[in-house]
Amino acid sequence: MTRPKFRGAEPALHELEWQVKAICRGMSTDIFYHAESQRGAIRKQYEVQAKQICNDCPVRRQCAAHAIRTDEPHGVWGAMTTRERRLAMTRSRRKATAADQVTS
């Protein structure tokens, strides 16, 4: 399986220092990136396996934040799927909008 190309903003080198502490460092990326053709139970199985690894990781929050900040379109990052990251971004934007309306 080939990994999708990076689409987000290029992070500064110091912003990626957390990666050396990641449990997944050196693991096959296939664990975290399912094939686009995978659906249903097989896809869920990959996601569960990846999330189990992520849940024990000391840099899980930094990983998820990086994926959200760079709009990573694929894979499980910080125990979050693409869909979960998009939902988190939507919720965050709604809260920011609501806060702006209150202070206006």
Q: Which three-class secondary structure string do you get for the chain?
A: CCCCCCCCCCCCHHHHHHHHHCCCCCCCHHHCCCCCCCCHHHHHHHHHHHHHHHHCCCCHHHHHHHHHHCCCCCCCECCECHHHHHHHHHHHHHHHHHHHHHHC
Does the annotation list 57 as a binding residue? Answer: yes
Q: For position 82, what pLDDT does the model report?
A: 93
Does the annotation list 64 as a binding residue? Answer: no
Q: For position 36, what pLDDT does the model report?
A: 75
Q: For position 50, what pLDDT does the model report?
A: 96
Please state the rounded mean pLDDT for residues 38-55.
92
Q: For position 75, what pLDDT does the model report?
A: 94
Does the annotation list 54 as a binding residue? Answer: yes
